[in-house]
């Protein structure tokens, strides 16, 4: 069963570190480079609804200089503050985007739903 947790898995963190990106697909709907450039936007997610698109670059989050850690911290804070203001550069223009999001960080995880571990049985070594 698909569920969500509030911390990225070790596998996601390792992948982000190797490939130098930030994956926020399941929260605000963005995938960013280490410098804050928007690589991908998930349709119908909060960032897309706010008007943010690929090619833009986030420079500040809630009046704090952008970094992946700052953005994640501010996304966590949306549960209590309910606001996420992004200062975004688009070519030579800079604009403020208000992202309507209140659910904190969300990362997908598979959980068992009281079913037997079928994959464990399938992957068991054969005995002679």
Q: Where are the domains of the chain?
A: 2-123
Who contacts 6 (Cβ-Cβ below 8 Å, separation ≥6)? 76, 104, 105, 106, 107
Residue 72's pLDDT is 93
| Confidence (pTM) | 0.81
Q: How confident is the model over 98-107, as pLDDT tens digits?
A: 999 999 998 8
Q: Which residues sit opposite 35 in a β-bridge?
A: none
* Residues 113-122, mean pLDDT to the nearest whole number: 80
3-state helix, strand, coil in the chain (%, to 5): 25, 35, 40
Q: Which CATH number describes the domain made up of 2-123?
A: 2.30.42.10
How many other CB atoms are found less than 10 A from the CB of residue 1?
A: 9
Q: How confident is the model over 1-44, as pLDDT tens digits?
A: 788 878 888 888 888 889 899 999 999 999 999 999 999 999 99
Tokens representing 44?
A: 């119908």
């Amino acid at each position: 069963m698909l569920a969500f947790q509030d911390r990225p898995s070790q596998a996601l963190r390792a992948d982000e570190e190797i490939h130098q990106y930030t994956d926020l697909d399941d929260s605000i709907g963005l995938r960013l480079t280490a410098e804050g450039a928007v690589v991908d936007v998930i349709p119908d997610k909060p960032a897309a609804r706010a008007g943010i698109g690929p090619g833009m670059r986030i420079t500040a989050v809630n009046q704090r200089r952008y970094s992946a850690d700052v953005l994640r911290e501010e996304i966590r804070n949306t549960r209590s503050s309910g606001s996420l203001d992004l200062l975004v550069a688009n070519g030579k223009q800079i604009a403020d985007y208000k992202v309507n999001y209140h659910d904190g960080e969300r990362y997908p995880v598979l959980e068992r739903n009281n079913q037997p571990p079928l994959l464990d049985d399938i992957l068991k070594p054969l005995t002679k």
